[in-house]
Amino acid sequence: MARIIVLTSGKGGVGKTTSAAAIAAALALRGKRTVVIDFDVGLRNLDLVMGCERRVVFDFINVINGDAKLNQALIKDKRNDNLYIFPTSQTRDKDALKRDGVERVLEELKDDFDYIVCDSPAGIEHGAITALYFADSAVIVTNPEVSSVRDSDRIIGILASKSRRAERNLEPVDVHLLLTRYSMERVKRGEMLSVEDVNEILSIPLLGVIPESESVLRASNTGTPVVFDHESPAGRAYIDAVARFLGEQREMRFVKPERRSFFRALLGKA
């Protein structure tokens, strides 16, 4: 039986889709059969970030409406056999996400996969609520700035009150914090909240800190989840985060200013 993980944030532009792609890919790299679903109906992006936009025929909404079968819509990743992408529709809107339809599709996926990663749209309206409703675990994607932290706080409250687990009085959704676009330098200059500041307000377990990195943008633009880039500090941070999600202990990297090595300083590289 698969575990359903939702990536959500309330605020837009904090890196939900990038993180969903990276976490799904990292789970697949760990040998877990994983499918990543795009819930952002009408603003289809996940397929771009995963680099499979030219292979989309049927989508999530087609399957919800019974116009296509699951295996017609699922796209197998070319880099990893454990990884599947479930794209959404660009022509419909969030109202097409019918809760019973979504439930039926998730139930069907549960038999075939270990993890179902749901990439939520921004906001706290129907689309976002539907994406988090069935969650077993939630990864709250947060940038180190006050508005993002407050929106995250709001969405944690919604998970605790409006998710299926909350409504049915089951064990609550297990909630993790993923701090993205973190820059130690800017924290030191007081331009960004520190890990401690964010933790103080949200008080949920920290899954990982993803450093601000050019490699993330490059990965999105080339349609390669950043964890496939072995050189990327962000990619390594995602791999660590997933290891922690699977119960391993890993030391937090990128939360202390990196020592510039003598050679790098000489070459003028960061």
Partner 1 sequence: MAANLVQGALFTVMVVRAEMLRDPAFETELAQQVQRSPRFFLNAPVVLDLRAAAEFTHEGEFIEARDILRRYTLMLIGVQNAQPAQLEAASAAGLASFAPTATQPSRPRSAAEQSQSAPAPPQPAASNAAKSRLVTQPVRSGTQIYVRGGDLVVTAPVSAGAEIMADGNIHVYSALRGRALAGASGDIEARIFCSRLEAELVSIAGHYLVSDQLPPEHRGLPVQIALVDDRLTIERN
Please, what is the minimum distance in Å from the beta carbon of residue 172 to partner 1?
A: 9
Q: Rounded to 5 degrees, what are φ and ψ at 123?
A: 95, 180
When binding is defined by CB under 8 A, the residue of 203, 221, 222, 261 that contacts partner 1 is 203
Spatial strand order of the sheet with 174-182 comes to: 75-76, 83-86, 34-38, 115-119, 3-8, 137-142, 174-182, 206-211
Q: Which residue has the tokens 């490059």?
A: 218
Pick the stretch among 60-68, 198-206, 214-222, 235-243 that binds partner 1 (CB under 8 A): 198-206
Compute the distance between CA of residue 202 and CA of residue 194 in angstroms, rounded to an integer.
13
Q: Is 195 in the site for partner 1 (CB under 8 A)?
A: no
Q: Is 157 in the site for partner 1 (CB under 8 A)?
A: yes
Q: Is 158 in the site for partner 1 (CB under 8 A)?
A: yes
Pick the stretch among 22-30, 41-49, 182-190, 197-205 that binds partner 1 (CB under 8 A): 197-205
Please, what is the minimum distance in Å from the beta carbon of residue 157 to partner 1?
A: 3
CB 26 within 8 A of CB 156: no
By rule CB under 8 A, what string of x and - marks binding of each residue 109-148 to partner 1?
---------------x------------------------
When binding is defined by CB under 8 A, the residue of 66, 161, 249, 268 that contacts partner 1 is 161
H or E stretch including 109?
Answer: helix 99-110
When binding is defined by CB under 8 A, the residue of 30, 110, 126, 154 that contacts partner 1 is 154
Pick the stretch among 97-105, 127-135, 136-144, 199-207 that binds partner 1 (CB under 8 A): 199-207
**Exposed, middle or buried by CB within 10 Å (0-12, 13-18, 19+), for 194?**
middle
Compute the distance between CA of residue 144 and CA of residue 156 in angstroms, rounded to an integer.
16
Amino acid occupying residue 143: N
User: In terms of DSSP bridges, do strands 83-86 and 75-76 run parallel, antiparallel, or are they unpaired?
Assistant: antiparallel
Please, what is the minimum distance in Å from the beta carbon of residue 150 to partner 1?
A: 5
Q: Please report, as ranges, the residues that interact with partner 1 according to CB under 8 A.
A: 124, 150-151, 153-154, 156-158, 160-161, 200-201, 203
